Chain A
Amino acid sequence: MSMAASTDSQVQATAANPSTHAPPPRRPRRWPWTPYLLSAPGLALFAVLLLVPLVMTFLLSLNSFSFYGGIENVWQIGNYADIIADSYFHEVFLRTFRIAAVVTLLCALFGAPEAYILRRMKSPWRGLCLLIVLGPLLISVVSRTLGWALLFGSTGLVNQGLMAMGLIATPIEFMYTETGVIIALTHVLVPFMVLSVWASLQRLDPQVENAALSLGAGPLTVMRRVVLPQIVPGILSGSIIVFALAASAFATPAIIGGRRLKVAATLAYDEFLNTLNWPLGATVAVLLLIANVVIIVGCNRLVERRYKQVFE
């Protein structure tokens, strides 16, 4: 408002030039509706499809449930107290975040070098290899995970192959283990890390590596002292994406982990559809969301503070 007023008075001052005595042109004052109108459809969609369900889930988590009475429309925090008190739930949440953390670490370990190597590849191979890396994203998560189940089974290709080579005597347990879930999730989520690191590599001046070489640094030192520090923000933002997706993944833990190895997402699903304890399922979902947001926002803060000086 004050901005608009001062602009107007400036216009008048310029127009009130002694040589021209015409009345200053007065533009009709308009309320700035346009931005709101333009974003209204998006905001409405966001509200109806995300905000309302989230609020409803939260309200549901405050309801109580009894085996005979079903869902009772009361407002209490008993479900939260139950989860916080029960060591079974602790185990599930702990497992969820342990899996997410290990998957994130593996994605960083594989994804960052992958992106770097991809960038240095020559033209036809680069496109081809990028397609292979992004391939997992093009395949339905269920068929991709079932593929892993076929490979991992006790009579699957991996175990058969290892046994035929005489490396192992009995099949390794992949199915229904954390190892299996971690391998399958890493495969699915590595593309996000590659894309994120790729984006930060694009901003890297290719001459910087030559500059370090000319100053006497060996190839490994160039990597450690010059390239790595510059792609750390990419690795960290990729880690945030991977962690969030891994912690809330459903299909992969459901198929590879099954009932025996529950994570927060499959736990909520079972509470909803098998036990029919909707309020408890909603509580698990809300707690997963809160934990995810806290961890991710915390990490993001850390990254922003650490790298504010260098990248802006």
Chain B
Amino acid sequence: MAYLVLDQLTKRFGNWTAVDNVSLTVEKGELISLLGPSGCGKTTTLQMIAGFLDADGGRVMLDGQDLLAKKPNERGLGIVFQSYALFPHMTAAENVAFGLEMRRIARADRDRMVADALKLVGLEQYGDRHPRRMSGGQQQRVALARALVIKPSLLLLDEPLSNLDAKMREEMQIELRRIQRTVGTTMILVTHDQSEAMALSDRVVVMNKGRIQQVATPQEAYDHPANAFVANFLGRTNLLPGMVGGGAGGTVITVADSVWPVAQPMAAGPGALAVRPEKIGFVDAGGLSGTVLARVFQGTQWLFEIETAAGRLMVIRQHDGSPLPAERERVMVGWRTDDMAVMPADREAA
């Protein structure tokens, strides 16, 4: 039985539906990301789970209990806020101890648990510092320790790394993963940063306009995006318009002068083919023909822009010494059928 279940969760602000029938199941110990552009409903979803916003419809079940029936201070969830939301008038140790005090844990146990939590985030020497005297990364760690020390049934992280600089962010990503492995808490991470979601999560939930677009492992979502939005949001992709139809050996999609077999059953009609730039190679026959518009050397790789009858294509090739076409050269490009995703021509081409 799933640990956390969101069942048709809905939130409206006036006429605007911020979260539209979101259903999701999360297993115990899983780290799952809600990923999407700003305004996609990911933070609203998190706020409803936390209880800071009331849901207009749907249910949230945690370990078989109805979460929405409880007040926010009775839910026992750990939350790490984007702004950290540390108590500025308390030291780091007092911040971490607050949740334990609320649970009326005896002084001695409390001190030990606070010390353990600070040690877990690598701040054992900073217990008596005030937040204002700490760096962003250190404040982030205190916020994490404060949320973890109460042994929450669920840890919610709202854009936890967005206020850190790039280097700190990478460090904290590794740190977060390590902590998640150590304590095994079920975590929901809200982020707009796809690389962060990819690096940290067991599964990603890609959201747009209040709806879930795809739930999959990061690799699966990257390699086989469910639709054009996911394909575009996760990394760079080439989206080629084509026509789906029945062929001799099954369903195929025709893109300009090339024909590609489609693995999944699909209705005939206009479709789109998504393929990543690094998955495209130059072939002698059986591919899509075009002309090299430009090629750019990027150190470890070459970036090609190729004009085809189906539109412009981005191709990335490793700089491994193999011969590559020059500019204005006629070429033919191809890819393995496993590396492409075919989807119906989209209502919401993003």
Contact = CB atoms under 8 A, between A and B. Distances in A.
B212 interface: no
Given A217-B102, A221-B102, A208 B73 contact: no
B245 interface: no
A211 B81 contact: yes
Nearest to A209: B85
B137 interface: no
Contacts of A310: 88-89, 130, 132
A215 B50 CA distance: 11
Interface in A265-312: 309-312
A309 B51 CA distance: 33
The interface residues of chain B, by DSSP majority, are classed as loop
A210 B99 contact: no
- Interface residue tally on B, bucketed by range: 20 to 34
Contact of A205 (B50, B74, B76, B85): B85
A215 B81 contact: no
Nearest to B81: A207
A244 B50 CA distance: 46
A23 interface: no
Contacts of B99: 215-216
Interface in B129-159: 130, 132, 146-147, 150
A214 interface: yes
Nearest to A214: B79
A309 B52 contact: no
Contacts of B241: none
Given A210-B85, A229-B89, A216 B103 contact: yes
Contacts of A230: 87-89
Interface string B56-91: 000000000000000011111111011101111100
B77 A214 contact: yes
Contact of B72 (A207, A210, A229): A210
A312 B75 contact: no
The interface residues of chain A, by DSSP majority, are classed as helix
Best-surrounded residue of B88, B130, B132 (most CB of chain A within 10 A): B88
Contact of B150 (A208, A216, A218, A221): A216
B282 interface: no
A226 interface: yes
B3 interface: no
B98 interface: yes
B96 to A, nearest CB: 10
A218 B72 CA distance: 9
Given A215-B98, A310-B130, A311-B88, A210 B52 contact: yes
Contacts of A226: 87
Contacts of A214: 50, 72-73, 75, 77-79, 147
Given A216-B76, A216-B150, A211 B85 contact: yes
9 contacts: A210-B79, A211-B81, A211-B86, A213-B51, A215-B73, A216-B99, A217-B73, A225-B98, A310-B132
Interface of B: 50-52, 72-79, 81-83, 85-89, 98-99, 102-103, 130, 132, 146-147, 150
Interface of A: 205, 207-208, 210-219, 221, 225-226, 229-230, 309-312
